[in-house]
Amino acid sequence: MNTTLHMAAGGGAGDHEPGLAVGDTGAVEHPPVRRGELAANLAATRREFALAARQGHGGRATQRAYAARMDGIVRRLVRAASTLTDARLVVCALGGYGRQTLCLHSDVDLMILFEERIGPNEERFVNAVLQPLWDLQLVVGHQIRELADFEDLDSGNPEFLLALLDARPLAGDESLLEPVAARLAGLDEGDRARAVDSLIDLIEQRYAQFNGTIYQLEPDIKNAPGGLRDLAALRYLHTLGGERFNEDRASARDAIAEAEGFLLTVRAVLHAESGRDANVLTHDLQERVSTTLDCPGAGVQQQVEALMGAYFRSARATAGALARARRRARPPAAIAAPGRTSRHFEIAPEGIRFADATTAAERPSLWVEIFRLAVVAGCPVSEQALDCIEQNLHRFGPDDLLATEADRQQLRALLRPRPGLYARLSEMHDCGLLMRLFPELEGIHCRVIRDFHHKYTVDEHTLLTIRGIEALWNPATPARRRFGAILEELRSPEYLTLALLLHDVGKAGEAGGADHAQESARLARAAVERLDLAADARHAVEFLVRNHLAMSRVAFRRDLDDPHVVARFAHLVGTEELLKMLCLMTLADVEAVSSSTLTPWKEELLWRLYVDTYNHLTLGYGDELVPQDPAGLAVVIAGRPDDIAEAELTSFLAGLPRRYLSLFGLASIYRHVRLARGLRRDEVHSVLENHDDVWELTIVTLDKPFLFSNVAGVLSYFGMDIHRGQAMTTPGGLVLDVFEFSDAQGFLRQNPGATGEITRMLDRVVAGWVDVPALLRGREQSVLYRRRQHEAPRLTFDNEHSQKYTVVELVADDAPGLLHRVSRVVSEQGCDLDLALIATEGRKAIDVLHLTRSGRKLVDAEQKALKHGLERVLEGADETR
Amino acid sequence: MKLVKAIVRPNKVDEVRDALETLNVGGMTVTEVRGHGRQKGHTAIYRGREYDVTLLPKICIDVVIANDVVEDAIQAIIRAGRTGEIGDGRVFVLPVEQSYNIRTGEQDAS
């Protein structure tokens, strides 16, 4: 049964008496308004409305009819009060009521406009109109104005201006509105621009309350992005924007009408069911609304999913249209200037677009590239490009999109966290490209999982984690800055983004419970295989996805004062790089649950666990040797190739720190075993290899004084810039050093036989035939070696963390040859450098040296002497040694 | 009735909650807090730079308990929250004059 209200008597448009001028009717007798009758009529009307709403018919027609009934009530009150004043006046409906979309418990917004100055009689008139409305328990928003108020329209007061755009005369002298309408129409470009700016500011403030996303699990259908206020804002922008919005207005008309019809119907159910002006589609109300609207689905859960699917589609269309209008009204300041950027792309005011959409439709390799370029240019991707991709997406699968290494490289480059990445990934998601690249995301598209904490759909939560990482480039607080510093240190932050994209894909379907991390890891494996990542990158992504809940569990639920807790967690992550990525992943994951989940309390605990684990990994790792990790050792033994005997393998590993197994994959471990074969005193076995732009030198030799310093000196002599390195010495005197460096001066690139020259020099140095300090003496006096210190160096001696070693941590501005000079001082002081971790992060060198002297830790006097020597080197006073 | 306010280590909150549930203590309020008692925090070093951790993260559990089980509840909290180290926390007991259920408006028996 259709119970949509169709009102005629007493309230419809026919009841409007445009000729009635209140000021002219002072002498006319009007029947008194019987308030009891009004209340009874209103109550009956509301019951009808509620019944219609509960049957799914509370949409536009019903609200228009309800507004008409309200018009009738207001007109009766105005007529009855008209004896109180002779003034010319007009009573208007504003806001949603002005637009005749008056919901059951909406505010009744009125403006009473007087021609002249308001006196006591007019005040009595106002009271006579408003008091009965209040007595009817209506929430009345009222503006009492004089015509003089409109002589100078304040374009900086957008709420009032916008309210005027919706003004609909109900009673009185309509002609009073004409000068107001004329002033509105006569707003010059400057006034309109200011009004548009103010409106956009209001939109941004409103969006901020909802974290800027439409994908709320319990959305406020009026105020949230994509809700009814967006539709009103869109209309205002189209009106204020003038002719340049003509095209937008026409193209958006149907979509706006459809979205509004849907939202009005849903809102009517919310009002009817809650008995108040409720606009939040809570989980409970989702069930009732989905049943009321007869959403498709076998059970309540499926019906709710269908309802929310429809809501998100509607909200996406609305927010998308508003975003376009905002961009047109206030184009974003692109980093790149408009114009052609290459053969295939051009930057236009609305964003980056394909130079030739027909060609682009056939070349999916351009699709990821356009998003990457948009991030670089700091502008959105244009509608033209998004439409082109969306319309042609069905013709290509993931393998087509990632067919070549160049395609995969584009994607990896896109995923590097930078400002704008979240917005571009959201565009990719909305146009379907992200799900085509990662079909694993399909199962979490608009996925709703109800719990007490999550505020957003699973896919939106996923994208918000990436926004959280992106925000670390411009940290808002000092506490957040320390996490930002970790992001700057990551070698390959794109793998963190990739892991975040995939971390919750296991929440699709029935497996979306507590074990979703395992399921996510299983699904992520297929994705990383498609991307053809290197083994270490693959391991990192899978590790992060599988363990994305581990750090929060330990940080928030375990006793961080217990060293065993930290040690176990350190063993889980294994390396500083994975620790850093997992820490940032945890931070972003917790923060993206809702705007209030990541409290300073949690942030502090997370940081504390990070620091304690980092210190354990870098300062305390020397005490545990490989045999103390039987599980890890068993894996290495089980996977050994035929040419390596178990005895040879275990003998090689016996004296190495347990950390070694975390640092190196099986292939590297077996290669190290082979390198160690047949080693004699004063010999070095080495391999020098190139990976992308990074060179890696692995040497195996037997320990001797100044060895580490001399090897570092050789690399420095050839102009190599050491980025990171590991040095390990077993109790039996076997040395394994691995250095990663860049060919800063192009020696390897420009000289075909250069690798041989370096390894020959190493042979001679280890054999003791070359005096490295003499070799470097000329270079160390050059300008390059005398860089000015930006930050005072920091030296820390630690005799607590390790049972066997004195650990020296050094943080200083990096400089060519620094590692050689530092390690030389160590040897000159009679210390053995047993273990070393070398890292360069930005312009900072961070070296952790594990030292002994005659097999024991350094005593205070020895530490003091070493410190003095190191400080001289770091201060540049002792560079020519 | 008494308001029992327990400040415990974050990792002990589940054990304390479980211990209270065995005494049929109905509701509780759990709040993330930071502070210090005799455990005055410590100095941590990261990359050679010291920073103080003077206000340590703790959890505050508030429960309102009938007079006849207050002593049992206090002992349960102490047993569950104790590690024996400095920093295990505190339990405070305060009198409650009246208590109402907001939904029903009913006053609880004192």
User: What is the secondary structure of B55-102 as a DSSP string?
Assistant: SEEEEEEEEEE-GGGHHHHHHHHHHHH--SSTT-EEEEEEE----B-T
Contact by Cβ (8 Å): A168, A91: no
Sorting pLDDT into bands at 50, 70 and 90, what band is A163? confident
DSSP letter at B50 equals E
Query: Which of B10, B12, B83 is the closest to A556 by Cβ?
Result: B10
pLDDT value at residue A336: 63
**CB contact, 8 Å: A809 with chain B?**
yes
DSSP letter at A294 equals T
Which chain A residues touch B48 with a CB distance below 8 Å?
794-796, 809-811
Which chain A residues touch B16 with a CB distance below 8 Å?
none
Q: What is the mean pLDDT of residues A323-350?
A: 78
**Residue whose C-alpha is closest to residue A19's, from A241, A174, A203, A230:** A174
Q: What is the mean pLDDT of residues A359-383?
A: 93
List the structure tokens of A396: 């290509």
DSSP H or E run through A613: helix A600-619
**Residue whose C-alpha is closest to residue B7's, from B81, B94, B72:** B81
The CA distance from A306 to A302, in Å, is 6
Phi, psi of B43 (to 5 degrees): -105, 125
**pTM recorded for the entire structure:** 0.81
DSSP letter at A694 equals E
Which chain A residues touch B85 with a CB distance below 8 Å?
561
Contact by Cβ (8 Å): A229, A251: no
Rounded to 10°, the helix A300-329/A283-292 angle is 100
The CA distance from A37 to A43, in Å, is 10
Which chain B residues touch A576 with a CB distance below 8 Å?
none
The single residue listed with the structure tokens 């070296």 is: A847
SS3 (DSSP) at A640: coil
Residue A188's alpha-carbon distances to A185, A240, A414, A429, in angstroms, are 9, 10, 43, 40
pLDDT tens figures, B77-88: 999 999 988 889
What interface predicted TM-score (ipTM) does this complex get? 0.83
Phi, psi of A831 (to 5 degrees): -95, 150
The single residue listed with the structure tokens 């076995």 is: A685
Residue A641 burial class via C-beta count within 10 angstroms: exposed 0-12, middle 13-18, buried 19 and up = exposed
Alpha helices in A600-744 (DSSP H): 600-619, 630-638, 646-653, 659-663, 666-675, 707-717
pLDDT tens figures, A602-649: 999 999 999 999 999 999 888 889 998 999 999 999 999 999 999 999
pLDDT tens figures, A286-314: 999 999 999 998 888 889 988 998 999 89
Count Cβ atoms below 10 Å from residue B9 Cβ, excluding itself: 23
Phi, psi of A438 (to 5 degrees): -125, 85
pLDDT for residue A333 is more than 80: no
Provide residues of B within 8 Å CB-CB of chain A: 9-12, 14, 32-34, 44-49, 53, 57, 83, 85, 87
SS3 (DSSP) at A750: helix
pLDDT tens figures, A578-595: 999 999 999 999 999 988
pLDDT value at residue A155: 55
- The per-residue pLDDT of chain B, averaged, comes to 89
List the structure tokens of A359: 């060609």
What is the strand order of the sheet B89-95 is part of? B29-35, B56-65, B2-8, B89-95
Asked which of A204-208, A453-457, A531-535 is least confident by mean pLDDT, the reply is A453-457
pLDDT value at residue B24: 85
The CA distance from A632 to A230, in Å, is 57
pLDDT tens figures, A799-824: 988 889 999 999 998 888 889 999 99
Contact by Cβ (8 Å): A198, A190: no
**Residue whose C-alpha is closest to residue A122's, from A112, A132, A131:** A112
Mutate to test the interface with B, among A579, A590, A604 (most CBs of B within 10 A): A604
- Rounded to a whole number of angstroms, the distance between the first and last alpha carbons of chain A is 97
Query: Which of B44, B47, B87 is the closest to A811 by Cβ?
Result: B47
Phi, psi of A469 (to 5 degrees): -65, -45
Contact by Cβ (8 Å): A209, A299: no
The CA distance from A820 to A773, in Å, is 9
Residue A120's alpha-carbon distances to A84, A110, A116, A124, A143, in angstroms, are 10, 20, 12, 6, 17
Count Cβ atoms below 10 Å from residue A493 Cβ, excluding itself: 21
- The per-residue pLDDT of chain A, averaged, comes to 87
Size of interface A-B (CB pairs under 8 A): 46
The single residue listed with the structure tokens 């990934």 is: A425
Query: Which of A561, A601, A795 is the closest to B34 by Cβ?
Result: A601
The CA distance from A860 to A855, in Å, is 16
List the structure tokens of A284: 């409970």
pLDDT value at residue A773: 87
Q: What is the mean pLDDT of residues B37-61?
A: 78
Sorting pLDDT into bands at 50, 70 and 90, what band is A880? very low
pLDDT for residue A329 is more than 90: no
Contact by Cβ (8 Å): A487, A456: no
Contact by Cβ (8 Å): A443, A401: no
Among positive and negative, which fits the CA dihedral A20, A22, A25, A30?
positive
The CA distance from A598 to A363, in Å, is 43
Mutate to test the interface with A, among B8, B11, B43, B49 (most CBs of A within 10 A): B11
List the structure tokens of B37: 């008692």
Report CB contact under 8 Å: B48, A809.
Answer: yes
Q: What is the mean pLDDT of residues A571-577?
A: 93
Contact by Cβ (8 Å): A74, A129: yes
